Amino acid sequence: MEDKPIDKQVILKELEELHKLDYEYADGRILGSMCTEAHPFAKEVYCKFLDTNLGDPGLFKGTKQIENEVIKSIGRFLSLDNAYGNIVTGGTEANLMAIRAARNHARKYKGITDGEIIIPESAHFSFKKAADMLNLKIVEAQLDENFKIDAESVRNSITEKTVAIVAIAGTTELGLIDPIEEISKIALEHNIYFHVDAAFGGFSIPFLKEIGYDLPVFDFSLEGVCSITVDPHKMGLAPIPAGGIIFRCEEYLEVMAVDSPYLTVKTQSTIVGTRLGASSAATYAIMKYFGKEGYSKIANDLMENTKFLARGLKELGYEIVCEPELNIVAFNHPEMQTNDLAEKLEGLGWKISVAKCPVAIRVVLMNHVKRNHLEELLKDLKDIF
């Protein structure tokens, strides 16, 4: 830091120069992001709540009420009347809270002190962080030939140390929905905590189902589901950071509670202490603003773009890894290595993401990737050969 104050204009200029190095969603070239430009209304509301701190909710009673209402409201579209949980920084923190709840619950009621969690091979890497922080062993369940968690493999992985089973509704790499109903039954049978990571799919599957898409059940209507991660900052179009963790009952928060004697509330269950109220307020605003109808329209438009891209790719001789269930397309060309293809596309200005399981170029069809961008992409993909 300099010794003397610097003029605002000078600082702003410096920041703008650096900001220019960032890619912009609006260019439509970012193809591997699950985040997108937040809606202007959500950003406006976000700025109004910048000073609110949900770490001390007694001081920000109104904002705490907003968070509670957002959680109840998300819970309702996930088939839960009375949801508990928090708006957190993202899917990573939400998954960490879920696994912490599961671990603490198993410690309290089953005396498990060296627990294991069963996650699919397709799970997001946030579970590796959670296991590391919570001192749990990861047991990876295999995927079936459709890249979904294999229920038998889950069943065979259960031991007396299992504290949680995880399945995904909208996998990071392929956007696939695991057979959650089957896994829910297995979890119930064995009395094991079951967490569904719907960080990506949570804000689209329910709304696509409402307009007639035939997608599997993944939510609290399944008795075995104890918690769901669902991120407003992905398909919810809320500003970053906004993740959501929804618990079926309050007890899962209680087993994580630590005393916070000098605060306005006497216990705290979140991982983070001081935390934004702005994320809750912006999520509240954007959910009301779109309503189910708005989210259905967005999800449907993105599925239309997904089908358009998948069709176009096939016509050009590319092979798609699987028929998309949500708005992600993964593909390869039979005559070129994936990494070479990715390099060529990067050279043409596309910001590409390469999936690892299986290796493929992966396009996440978010709101900022418009039809004209897809046409340009298909043209480039044609010209490569």
Summarize as ranges the residues that interact with ligand 0PR (CB under 6 A): 33-35, 90-92, 95, 124, 126, 168, 172, 197, 199-200, 231, 243
Q: What is the smallest separation between the CB atom of 127 and ligand 0PR, expressed in angstroms?
A: 8
- Residues in contact with 7: Cβ distance below 8 Å, sequence separation at least 6, in sequence order: none
Looking at beta carbons only, is 57 or 91 nearer to ligand 0PR? 91
Q: Which is nearer to ligand 0PR, 60 or 131 (CB)?
A: 131
Taking the complex as a whole, the smallest distance from the CB of residue 36 to ligand 0PR amounts, in Å, to 9
User: Least Å distance between CB 232 and ligand 0PR?
Assistant: 10
Residue 19 structure tokens: 């900001």
State in angstroms the smallest separation of the CB of 63 from ligand 0PR: 21
124 or 373: whose CB is closer to ligand 0PR?
Answer: 124
Q: Which residue, 56 or 173, is less far from ligand 0PR as judged by CB?
A: 173
What is the nearest approach in angstroms of ligand 0PR to the Cβ of residue 293? 26
Least gap, CB of 172 to ligand 0PR (angstroms):
3
Residue number, 56 or 197, with CB nearest to ligand 0PR: 197
Taking alpha carbons only, the member of 297, 322, 307 closest to residue 176 is 322
Q: Which is nearer to ligand 0PR, 54 or 96 (CB)?
A: 96
Q: Between the CA of residue 123 and those of 153, 202, 248, what are the distances in Å?
A: 15, 15, 22
Shortest reach from residue 156's CB to ligand 0PR, in Å? 24
- Quote the least distance from Cβ 29 to ligand 0PR, whole Å: 12
Of residues 172 and 332, the one with the C-beta less far from ligand 0PR: 172
CA–CA separation, 112 and 253 (whole Å) = 18
Q: Is 36 or 296 the residue whose CB approaches ligand 0PR more closely?
A: 36
Q: Are 385 and 335 in contact (CB under 8 A)?
A: yes
Residue (of 238, 197, 208) closest to 96 by Cα position: 197
Nearest approach in angstroms of CB 224 to ligand 0PR is 19
Residues in the chain: 385
Whole-number Å distance between alpha carbons of 115 and 130? 12
Residue 360 near residue 321 (C-beta atoms within 8 A):
yes
CB of 126 to ligand 0PR, least distance (A): 5
Name which of 281 and 326 has its Cβ closer to ligand 0PR.
326
> Per DSSP, what are the bridge partners of residue 133?
none
Provide the token pair at 45. Answer: 């509301």
Give the residue with the Cβ less far from ligand 0PR, 23 or 289: 23
CA dist 62 and 60 (Å) reads 6
